[in-house]
Amino acid sequence: MPSVGMAPTTNTMFTLAHLSDPHLAPLPTPHWKELIGKRVTGYLNWQKKRRFIHDAETLAAVVADIKAQTPDHIAVTGDIANIALAAEFRQGRDWLESVGSPQDVSFVPGNHDIYVSEAAAFATRQWGPYMDDDEGVGGFPYVRRRGNVVLVGLSTGVPTAPFLATGWLGAKQLVGLAATLNQLRSDGLFRVVIIHHPPIIEAAQHKRLLDAHVLKRVIAAHGADLLLHGHDHVHMVNWLEGPNGTRVPAVGVPSASTRPGTDKDAAAYNLYRIDGRPGAWQCELISRGLASSGEVTQQKRFMLLG
C-alpha cells in the first residue's frame, strides 16, 4: 500500500495536461515470428486502416502545444504501442522521454500496450519510471503527489483474444484502490484517478472494462475528484456517483495522433486548471485540438467543477 503524506498548507493553481492513445507511428517492421498469435490480426488492421489514422507529425504538434501551455504535470492514459512489438517499447521510451521526465509525466498502460502476454515485462523494463510511485516502487495502483493534486494510476491492460480490446482491473487493484482513496480522503488533495478504459458499463462488449461495475462501486463508496481515461478516441464526459450525493466527472480524450478527417474526433488533449480546497474544489477544463489548418487551437473551455 502506498504511503500517504501530509496535506499541503497552501492552495495554488495546478495545471494538469491529459493526452491518450498516441499509437506511435510508423509501426516498426516486425519479424515474422512476432506475428504469431494475436499480433497478426493487429498488424493486418494497422496496414489496412490504422496507419492512415495515426500520424507522427500530428502527435508532435499536440505534444509541442502541450509544452507551450507549461502544465505542472502530464498524464498519459495508455496505448503508446500498437501491437506490442519489442521495438515499440524502445520507441515508446524515447517518446516518453521527449514528453518529459518521470517526475513530470505519469503513465498507465492500455490494451495495445499489453497486447500479448510478454508485453507487461517489456513495459515495466522500458517505461517503469513513468509508472512508479513517489518512492520509486512499481505496481498498481500507484500514488503520485504533485502540488495540491494526487494521481492514482491503474492498469486495465491485459492480453485478450483476437478482435477483443477489453480491459480488466482485478480484485487486487480494486481493493488497493478502495484503501488508497479512503486514506487520501483526509489529505486535503484533489484526487485524480487515471486509467485507460472508461468506466462505462454500457460500452460495446468487445472493448469495455469488464469490471467497470466494481470500479464504480469503489468510487461511489470512497470518492475521487476526477477520473481521466482514453481508449475510445473521442471526447467524452460521464458522471459517476460519489459518496453522499456527490458526482465525479470521468473525462476521455481522442487519440493524440489522429489526423483530422480520418476518425470520429481529430487529435486533441485536455488541460485541467485545479484550485480550491476539499469540499470547494474548482476545476476548469480546456480542450485543445488539431484543426483542419494543421494548427492546435482551443476547442472548448468550461468549468467542470465549482
> What is the edge-to-edge ordering of all strands in the sheet holding 268-275?
105-107, 73-76, 14-19, 268-275, 282-290, 296-305
Size of the chain in residues: 306
57, burial (CB in 10 Å: exposed 0-12, middle 13-18, buried 19+) = exposed
- C-alpha to C-alpha distances, 61 to 190, 200, 267, nearest whole angstrom: 29, 30, 9
How far is the C-alpha of 116 from the C-alpha of 239, rounded, in Å?
A: 32
- 10-residue mean pLDDT profile of the chain (306 residues): values are 39 92 97 93 97 98 98 98 98 98 98 97 98 96 97 97 96 98 93 97 88 98 97 97 96 97 95 95 97 93 96
How far is the C-alpha of 89 from the C-alpha of 68, rounded, in Å?
A: 26
Q: Which residues contact 19 (CB under 8 A, 6 or more apart)?
A: 62, 63, 66, 74, 75, 76, 77, 253, 256, 269
Strand partners, 153: 142, 194
Cα–Cα nearest to 158, from 187, 127, 125, 119: 119
Range 14-305 has CATH code 1.10.10.10:
no
How much is the pTM? 0.95
Strands 149-153, 247-252: parallel, antiparallel or unpaired by DSSP? Answer: unpaired
Going from N- to C-terminal start, the domains of the chain cover 14-305
The pLDDT value given to residue 10: 47
The pLDDT value given to residue 11: 54
Measured from the Cβ of residue 293, the count of other Cβ atoms closer than 10 Å reads 8
Is residue 127 within 8 Å of 252, Cβ to Cβ?
Answer: no
Is the peptide bond preceding residue 141 cis, with omega within 30 degrees of 0? yes
Strand partners, 304: none
